[in-house]
């Protein structure tokens, strides 16, 4: 059974305040990453209707700084599924509140695994609906292979680092 991408789509908007800023006067990257992960986890859980854990955050791109004059608008949705894994695309738009100027501030691909009693569980397939969703879905298999390759490299590196 496949589910439409729209069934997992999640939105969130928030305003930027001084405690959210780093020493450069822009949104602290760690806060943005935490919010992206939180929203993506909702999308993954909506799709699978199971508990989900983050496996990786891929291709995080900080495209434009976000400042106190901005509000930010998150959008997340499942774009690809494996056996028990799901890839969620997250887009962050920033809107300058006084001028109305909009820009894509950040994007990210986050992979989750669905669990039941701590064990990976099969998830429904995904049915892309729009042209953009179809393109993201088509490219997802390459990203999945890249993740597997990177994971193997990380395991090997972990073995080397224990020797230091």
| 30-83 residue pLDDT tens | 999 999 999 999 999 999 999 999 999 988 999 999 999 999 999 999 999 999
- Whole-angstrom distance, CA of residue 110 vs CA of residue 89: 7
- CA dist 73 → 10, 78, 92, 131 (Å): 11, 17, 6, 22
- Domain limits at 88? 2-161
pLDDT at 160 over 90: no
Number of domains in the chain: 1
| Residues 90, 67: Cα–Cα separation, whole Å | 19
Q: What is the pLDDT of residue 67?
A: 97
**158's tokens:** 């972990």
3-state secondary structure 27-62: ECHHHHHHHHHHHHHHHHHHHHCCEEEEEEEEEEEE
What pLDDT, in 10s, does the model give residues 84-139? Answer: 999 999 999 999 999 999 999 999 999 999 999 999 999 999 999 999 999 999 99
pLDDT at residue 159 is higher than 90: no
Say which CATH number the domain at 146 has.
3.10.129.10
pTM of the model: 0.90
């Amino acid at each position: 059974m496949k589910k439409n991408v729209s069934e997992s789509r999640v939105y969130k908007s928030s305003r930027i305040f001084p405690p959210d800023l780093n020493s450069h006067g822009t949104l602290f990257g760690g806060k943005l990453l935490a919010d992206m992960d939180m929203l993506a986890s909702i999308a993954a859980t909506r799709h699978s209707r199971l508990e989900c854990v983050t496996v990786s955050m891929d291709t995080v791109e900080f495209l434009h700084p976000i400042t106190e004059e901005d509000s930010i608008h998150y959008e997340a949705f499942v774009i690809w599924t494996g056996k028990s894994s799901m890839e969620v695309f997250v887009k962050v738009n920033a809107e300058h509140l006084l001028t109305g100027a909009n820009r894509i501030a950040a994007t990210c691909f986050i992979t989750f695994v669905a669990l039941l009693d701590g064990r990976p569980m099969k998830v429904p397939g995904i049915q892309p609906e729009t042209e953009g969703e179809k393109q993201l879905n088509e490219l997802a298999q390459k990203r999945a292979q890249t993740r597997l390759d990177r994971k193997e490299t990380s395991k090997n590196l972990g073995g080397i680092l224990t020797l230091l």
